[in-house]
Amino acid sequence: MCLNSLFRNRYRFLVAVLFLAAFGLCVAPAQEKAAAPSPAVKIEIGVRVPMRDGVTLSANIFRPDKAGKFPVIILRTPYGKNSASQFGFGRFFAGNGYVYIVEDSRGRNDSDGTFHAMHDEADDGYDTIEWAAAQAWSDGNVGTFGGSYGGENQWMAAVSRPPHLKTMGVLVSPPGPFYNIPFQYGALTLLMIDWSIGTTDHVGQSSRELGLDRAIRELPLVTIDEFATGKPIHLWKSFFAHPTYDDYWKVVDYERRWDKVDIPVLHISGWYDDDQPGTFRNFTAMRRLGRKGQKLLVGPWPHAINSVTKMGILDFGPASKIDLQGTMLRWFDRWLKGIPNGVDAEAPVRVFVMGANTWRDEPDWPLPATQWTKYYFHSGGKANSLSGDGVLSVAPPRNEPQDKYDYDPADPTPFIMPVSSGQIGGPDDYRSVGERKDVLVYSTPPLEQDLEITGPLSAKLFAASSAPDTDWNAMLLDVYPDGYALRLNDGVIRASFRESFEKPSPIEPGKIYEYTIDCWQTSMLIKKGHRIRVHIASAAFPKFDRNQNTGHPFGMDSKMQVAHQTVFHDAKHLSHIVLPVVPAKANK
């Protein structure tokens, strides 16, 4: 894998290209309709919106060019309100009887103040919603819209309970701060360095004319921002000042206040969305709280949802791409205009099953018909690499020797990326990674019939390490008859965070601990003749930072040491992965 090609100019385009890729996808349908006469739209550029502390934010406002009061849709973004895609949205929604407001986040682009990621979004979102509701052109019904950071900031505003917020359209939203970004079960999502640099104004060029491909290998980790740009980046430094779930994170963790939200929400994500867990955690939380009007829509997409019909070797067919503009319009028509268009009568869950290449409507998530099936790890003590003897089976182990490997942070197990610009991971071929001795490989025999896996994935690992802290990674793969080992999804847990994000604790070298690894979600029909495979390792670099195995304060020094790892699978230590198997009769 060439890290130079991976990181070349990433921090220059991440905040623009990635976001515009995710939302520029809706511009095309609007352009197709441009030939037909469209209602006149009035556009106001750079309108100042006052916040409670006296700071004013800058917004573009698109509204029908006629007298009257209209419902309002608001998108708040740190990525720039003046993009072509935002003008496309504005004209589309205003042409359909809405006021559309796109606003620069505090301290970004034309807005005043200082950008302090996540920390001002609750108040600023609340104030923007209530300001919009009070304008002469507003009928008082306000909805919000946006994705990625623009999805997360919707939740932050919603838990503050602005009285005029009636609904949200939330796309690819990150979850709470320790389930994905900036941390995932204790491990730092390393490409937050991109985002930290990209959302910092006037960082200039690297003082050494070096890119992030070199910087991410530097230690100590806390200073790689300075290595890459020549200047300290406040957001990056905050991760090291607050590496645990302390008050700094609690105040922006909207999941702590889910119970404050009681409005209809459209939750959208993709099976290869980099921020995938937020969508599922939010949807299931709202359903658990009994909130009506919740809809989950998941397609075979990367973080830039609905942008492709192919990823890697997978071709999902033309039906995998939807009319996303039309979907959003129907949602807002129902919940902001009160039009009885049947949205609330539809199945609450709509997912695309990869492999079968079909959309399916379901009553809940996880699917009620799911058969939670444990696939246990087996070996004769030599599961290392593809040439090892690791086996994956529904039969539990009895008396089997443990598997061992050495994890060296100076030569970390790689994570393959990107599938496309700005995408952290996809359905890549992990054969080359599986050839490494620091990867334990467990595979089933070729399947005798098709097997659908749709739902959450989790691995249970009984393991010991020679180090006071280390990482455990698990990955699920669909292995083709020709050997192509297609990544479905993966997860990580930092050993010291096994019991608490708030109060991590070291492990005792040599002691066996039980770890649960959240591998997110997937939906795939694994075909007859394919095999199911699990990789166990202690790094996924550069998706996550390298655990240096020392137990020293996070990111503060350059010392590294090799960890001697042991994975147990016997009658007392049933290491396994739990797969959400959907019986054939349930998916017809």
**pLDDT computed for residue 586 by the predictor:** 67
For the segment 519-540, the average pLDDT, to the nearest whole number, is 98
CA distance linking residue 574 with residue 584, whole number of Å: 28
Q: Give the percent of the chain with pLDDT over 90.
A: 86
Of the candidates 253, 273, 429, 490, the residue annotated as catalytic is 273
CA distance linking residue 581 with residue 588, whole number of Å: 14
Q: Using 50, 70 and 90 to split pLDDT, how confident is the model at 588?
A: low
Six-digit token string for 52: 């409670």
Type of residue found at 513: Y
CA distance linking residue 503 with residue 98, whole number of Å: 47
Instruction: Collapse the DSSP code of 475 into the 3-class scheme (helix H, G, I; strand E, B; otherwise coil) and give the result.
Output: strand
Report the candidate in 496, 494, 513, 492 with the shortest Cα–Cα distance to residue 505: 496
Lowest model confidence (mean pLDDT) among 77-81, 331-335, 474-478, 564-568: 77-81
**pLDDT tops 80 at residue 42:** yes
CA distance linking residue 29 with residue 92, whole number of Å: 9
Q: Using 50, 70 and 90 to split pLDDT, how confident is the model at 395?
A: very high
Q: Using 50, 70 and 90 to split pLDDT, how confident is the model at 37?
A: low
CA-based max dimension of the chain:
79
**pLDDT computed for residue 418 by the predictor:** 61
Lowest model confidence (mean pLDDT) among 4-18, 378-392, 434-448: 4-18
Say if strands 349-353 and 485-494 run parallel, antiparallel, or are unpaired: unpaired
CA distance linking residue 477 with residue 485, whole number of Å: 6
**pLDDT tops 80 at residue 464:** yes
| CATH code at 3-179+248-362 | 3.40.50.1820
- Which one has a higher pLDDT value, 272 or 39? 272
**pLDDT computed for residue 200 by the predictor:** 84
**pLDDT computed for residue 422 by the predictor:** 66
Cα three-residue angle 267-366-304, rounded to 5 degrees: 35
- The residue behind tokens 């932050």 is 156
Six-digit token string for 260: 């404050």
CA distance linking residue 273 with residue 521, whole number of Å: 10
**pLDDT tops 50 at residue 303:** yes
Provide φ and ψ at 173, rounded to 5°: -80, 135
Six-digit token string for 573: 């230590």
**pLDDT tops 50 at residue 549:** yes
Provide φ and ψ at 104, rounded to 5°: -70, 135
For the segment 468-488, the average pLDDT, to the nearest whole number, is 98
Q: Please state the pTM of the whole predicted model.
A: 0.93
Query: Can you give the residue ranges of every domain in the chain?
Result: 3-179+248-362, 371-587
CA distance linking residue 411 with residue 37, whole number of Å: 60
**pLDDT computed for residue 199 by the predictor:** 87
| CATH code at 371-587 | 2.60.120.260
Of the candidates 164, 303, 530, 573, the residue annotated as catalytic is 303
CA distance linking residue 226 with residue 219, whole number of Å: 11
**pLDDT tops 70 at residue 572:** yes
**pLDDT computed for residue 400 by the predictor:** 97
CA distance linking residue 213 with residue 261, whole number of Å: 41
Cα three-residue angle 475-480-485, rounded to 5 degrees: 30
**pLDDT computed for residue 21 by the predictor:** 39
In the annotation, is 273 catalytic? yes
**pLDDT computed for residue 423 by the predictor:** 82
**pLDDT tops 60 at residue 167:** yes
Of the candidates 58, 83, 148, 538, the residue annotated as catalytic is 148
CA distance linking residue 18 with residue 195, whole number of Å: 11
**pLDDT computed for residue 362 by the predictor:** 98
Per-residue pLDDT of 271-282, as tens digits, reads 999 999 999 999
> Do 155 and 267 meet the contact criterion of CB atoms below 8 Å apart?
no
The count of residues in the chain is 588
**pLDDT tops 90 at residue 12:** no
Per-residue pLDDT of 209-238, as tens digits, reads 446 788 899 999 999 999 988 899 999 999
CA distance linking residue 87 with residue 109, whole number of Å: 16
Q: Give the percent of the chain with pLDDT over 70.
A: 90
Type of residue found at 344: D
**pLDDT tops 70 at residue 202:** no
Q: What is the average pLDDT score of the chain? A: 91
**pLDDT tops 90 at residue 457:** yes
In the annotation, is 393 catalytic? no
In the annotation, is 303 catalytic? yes
Per-residue pLDDT of 493-509, as tens digits, reads 999 999 999 999 999 99
CA distance linking residue 192 with residue 209, whole number of Å: 20
**pLDDT computed for residue 66 by the predictor:** 95
Report the candidate in 350, 185, 373 with the shortest Cα–Cα distance to residue 283: 350
Strand partners, 460: 516, 576
Could you count the other beta carbons within 10 Å of the beta carbon of residue 209? 7
